[in-house]
A and B are shown apart, each in its own frame.
Chain A
Amino acid sequence: MRLVFHIVLYFFLVLIAVILLFPYGFMINRGLMSNSWILDSYMHYWTDGLNFSNYVQAFSDGGYGTPLVYSVIVCAIVFVSVPLSSMIAAYAFAKLEWIGRNFMFAFMMLTALLPGIVTQVPLYVLYNNLGMTNTLLPLFLPGIFFAGAMNVFLTRQFLMSVPREMEESAKLDGANALVRCFVIAAPMCAPILIYLGVSAFIASWGDYLTPSMYNNSVDAPYTLAYALYDMTGRETNSTHPEWIFAAATITSLVPTILFTVFQKYLIEGIQTAGLSS
């Protein structure tokens, strides 16, 4: 009876996994197809061979090479700046005593209530006036100062559960607040900071929408996700679809690998974010 239950259970677990992963497999297969096979009038699922040269061509002739570099730059910046800005603010809320702290905390949490769609147009006007449209700046500039109420809130919660002793003794030794924040407290907050950095990286990596708002010149630098969004409408789409799928595979593999490697931190972060609301 128990064995039958297990067999049925595993059958369904595997079946659902196969169904859920079949688009991923479709993408990988198409990225490896030869040009004639992918342009065949019958849409194949399986590739006719392992044409890894597609990857080389996509990132050279296909024009995905430069966007890849820009993506890495933008994501590297948010990977550092989002945990950094969240840590500074959270430290002030959790460990420092200052006049106006409760008010500022409530003020920050209020910003989380308003749907982001409201600020889209004025932000475009702002970047346009500052000459920042058609640059990469709008993709990471806000996060350097403030990376969202939820991120600061989560870091603050984490900080409040961290034991006081080490900080108290550092304070007695004359360490100033900045040293205490980054040398003593930050290493203890590693799990939440890793969560913030990796999830900011993944979000920026896949963001095609923000660049699509601020880019209106063909000469402007753009990221890999935007390149995919933009190039699906271009000529390469009809002549070399395998390059698109090769680039799409790379674009997907990066967040997939990051998730698999950091799953412990990411799952915990997503769960605390969900439960604490």
Chain B
Amino acid sequence: MMTRAKTGAAAAVVRAPRGRLKKRLKASVTGWLFILPMTFGICVFTLLPIIQSLYYSFFDYNLVSRFDFVGFGNYADIFSGDPEMGKVIVNTLLFALVNIPVTLVGSYLLALLLNVNVKGIKVFRVLYYLPCTMPAIVSGIVWSYIMRYNVETPGLFNQFLAALGLPMSHFFYADNFGAVASIVLMNLWSLGGGTIIWLAQFKNIPKQLYEAAEIDGASAMRRFFSITLPMSTPMIFYNLITNFIVTLQFNGTLTFAPNNGLGNGQATYMFGLKIYHEAFRRSNMGYACALAWVLVVIVGLVTVLLFKTNKWVQYDN
């Protein structure tokens, strides 16, 4: 009797976890069935392409007839041998160095303006965002007319300059750094996109901080530099990184710059466009993959560098 009771209890003890395991496994089947489409999607459209891309980058591959192993040949070409790379790197760096600060500071100032508490401010928040709803291809077309350089039929900006008695500008059609500067100028019209995120950050700043500052008699200027700006640093940091990644991949010049986006004298030829051009215009698939991996390494290095020097970012707890 005693023994039977004992074994029965022991069996129950053993059965309980086995039952739980069975239940867990059964539940896991449901979980995996749910996650199956995503797993398939990631494998086919992300994971496999990543591996293939790395593999192709060691080949001279033109999609049709050539598939020759070249070792690090493509990578060597990028750093020495490709005569276009010098121009591409200078243009990309210049664009990043001017565009990122202008975009960040500009949208931040705009957000400060839109953060005031007056009647109808919500309408202005929407109005300022509307230029961003214009698809890139449309704004490319529109801006190529606005910035058109043609002595007989000058674009709007050149009509404006002429009316002021100033010399006409080539804008996108310039064969020097003026072309990149024109892109930065055009980007000012999409500053409203960044303000949305800044406004959210402002909303997250505790009201008590401002109330306390007001009691202490701090001026509006002082409140901005001691509260608003320091409290925005996490978002500034995030925007800096994402802006950098987007800027390096930028190939939007396709929609407005002459010569398929390359610009006159390759003045708007940048890294993102270079990859697009090598892959889809010249069918240098292997070389395009190598370029993409160089971009990944650069993005990775700069991100690490930014994280190592982020002492100025104030994370609140």
What residues make up the interface of A, taking CB atoms closer than 8 Å to B?
6, 9-10, 12-13, 16-17, 20-21, 23-24, 26-27, 30, 41-43, 45, 85, 88-89, 91-93, 96-101, 104, 107-108, 111, 114-126, 128, 141-142, 144-146, 152, 177, 181, 202, 205-206, 208-209, 212-213, 225, 228-229, 232, 244-245, 248, 251-252, 255-256, 258-260, 263, 267, 270-271, 274-275, 277
Contacts and interface: CB of A to CB of B under 8 A. Distances in A.
Contacts of A104: 35, 39
B276 to A, nearest CB: 8
B105 interface: no
Contacts, number: 253
A195 to B, nearest CB: 13
Residue of B27, B45, B242 ringed by the most chain A CB atoms within 10 A: B45
Contacts of B307: none
- Secondary structure of the B side of the interface? helix
Contact of B292 (A9, A26, A93, A121): A121
Given A145-B38, A256-B133, A260-B126, A20 B192 contact: yes
Nearest to B51: A122
A83 to B, nearest CB: 13
Nearest to A230: B137
Contacts of A277: 238, 242
B133 A202 contact: yes
A88 B53 contact: no
B296 A121 contact: no
Given A43-B153, A92-B34, A212 B280 contact: yes
Interface in B38-67: 38-42, 44-50, 52-53, 56, 63
B196 A225 contact: no
Contacts of A248: 138, 141-142
B224 interface: no
B131 interface: yes
Nearest to B153: A41
B137 A118 contact: no
A228 B260 CA distance: 14
A108 to B, nearest CB: 7
Interface stretch (B92-100, B208-216, B247-255): B247-255
B137 A98 contact: no
Contacts of A124: 279-280, 285
Contact of A41 (B41, B47, B152, B280): B152
A142 B275 CA distance: 22
Contacts of A125: 52, 56, 63, 285
Interface in B17-41: 24-25, 27-32, 34-35, 37-41
11 contacts: A23-B142, A85-B38, A97-B28, A117-B249, A118-B295, A141-B45, A142-B41, A208-B136, A274-B197, A275-B200, A277-B242
